[in-house]
Amino acid sequence: MLEFLRGEFMAEACKRASDHQLASAIGSPVVVVTGGSRGIGLALARGFAARGHNQFLIARDSARLRAAAGNIQSDFGVVVRFAAHDLALPEATAEIVATLAAEQCHADILVNCAGIGIYDDFIVIDKEQAHRVLAVNIAAATNLMHAWLPGMLQRRRGGVLNVASLAGLTPMPYLALYAASKSYLIALTRAGSTETSGSGVTVSVVLPGPVNTDFLSNSSGASVRRAALLPGLSAETVARTAIEGFLAGQTVITPGLVGTLCRLALKLTPYWLLAPVIKRAAKGAFFGSAPKAPTETVQVATCAANVSPGTNYAVAGVAQG
């Protein structure tokens, strides 16, 4: 029954999406931005829109997506579509690919930006939440790359811009799962970039340090104090550097001087030397003093705060300019 209703909803949404405003963009390439409703993803969407690219935004909250799409459309005069999906659900990426195909547009550039943080002693993190981190940060990003890279290679243009983190450059105690998920994205990007070199397709990854967004408060686990390890950059600065690097064909992009120095230091320093320093700094930043005892209940601050049970996230639409 739920599947049937979802199908009906999608059909209606697709019908709405083919109004005359869209007609001019049918068959047109789009930049797909996961996590495009706020934070770094929104800044990236706005940055690509400023360069004249039509957009397709993905996140869970459809009201926020609609608002973001409307603003981008009116500010830059590009067509902005959106679809609300929870990327942690196994069927989400196939539905997104089907929606784009149904709307007869294709992903010219894929920006894998949606991501979830999880901060805690590894042995106490909530299993369900750990699964969501792996599903969003790794599986969804991989599936979308896998779905759309072949078309990009055929057209010999476009590419993938993955959003990882400086945290992906080293094992991170108390941020273990998140950092490992970002390491995966960096490795996948590097390999993908090598495989596609000379094809006209770019595969890049951007490694921000702390960025001034709501990411930490949307992440789960320890009662995170603002990580004061590095000064925070603005989402716009990160997006500008990322887009310029991507368009220049750079594989690994590090925004900011401090970020660049950090990357160099992480590359040159063996982990056995780094580990105690990172451990102490992470303890201070995420716990204040000592991490939780394994027996305590895990506090899930929850990035799923706006997920109400039974909500159907397969909502699609187009911003009305």
Ligand X SMILES: NC(=O)c1ccc[n+]([C@@H]2O[C@H](COP(=O)([O-])OP(=O)(O)OC[C@H]3O[C@@H](n4cnc5c(N)ncnc54)[C@H](OP(=O)(O)O)[C@@H]3O)[C@@H](O)[C@H]2O)c1
10, 59, 130, 205: which one binds ligand X (CB under 6 A)? 59
Contact flag: residue 116 with ligand X (CB under 6 A): yes
Q: Say how many residues touch ligand X, by CB under 6 A.
A: 30
Contact flag: residue 37 with ligand X (CB under 6 A): yes
CB under 8 Å to 23, separation ≥6 — which residues? none
**Total number of residues shown for the chain:** 321
- CA dist 52 and 78 (Å) reads 6
Contact 23, 103 (CB under 8 A): no
Pick between residue 199 and residue 236 the one whose CB is nearest to ligand X. 236
What would the two tokens of residue 97 be? Answer: 């690919």
Contact flag: residue 175 with ligand X (CB under 6 A): no
175 φ/ψ angles, rounded to the nearest 5 degrees: -140, 25
Amino acid of residue 18: S
Q: Which of 76, 51, 39, 86 is nearest to 210 (CA)?
A: 39
In whole angstroms, how close is the CB of 262 to ligand X at the nearest point? Answer: 12
Considering only residues 191-210, where is the footprint of ligand X by CB under 6 A? 208, 210
Part of the chain binding ligand X (CB under 6 A), chosen from 8-16, 39-47, 188-196, 241-249: 39-47
The DSSP output letter for 88 is: T
Q: Which of 29, 28, 13 is nearest to 317 (CA)?
A: 13
Contacts 24+ apart (CB under 8 A), 152-157: 152/107, 152/108, 152/201, 153/196, 153/199, 153/201, 155/108, 156/199, 156/200, 156/201, 157/108, 157/200, 157/201
Q: Looking at 119, 174, 178, 313, which residue is catalytic?
A: 178
Contact flag: residue 186 with ligand X (CB under 6 A): no
Contact 49, 72 (CB under 8 A): yes
Part of the chain binding ligand X (CB under 6 A), chosen from 1-9, 59-67, 247-255, 274-282: 59-67
In whole angstroms, how close is the CB of 163 to ligand X at the nearest point? Answer: 4
Contact 177, 130 (CB under 8 A): yes
129, 183, 204, 213: which one binds ligand X (CB under 6 A)? 213
Considering only residues 66-105, where is the footprint of ligand X by CB under 6 A? 85-88
105, 136, 201, 298: which one binds ligand X (CB under 6 A)? 136
Pick between residue 197 and residue 223 the one whose CB is nearest to ligand X. 223
Annotation says 313 is catalytic: no
17, 303, 314, 319: which one binds ligand X (CB under 6 A)? 303
Part of the chain binding ligand X (CB under 6 A), chosen from 10-18, 47-55, 108-116, 145-153: 108-116
Contact flag: residue 214 with ligand X (CB under 6 A): yes
What residues act catalytically? 178
For binding to ligand X (CB under 6 A), which residues are involved? 34-35, 37-41, 59-61, 64, 85-88, 113-116, 136, 163, 165, 208, 210-211, 213-215, 218, 303
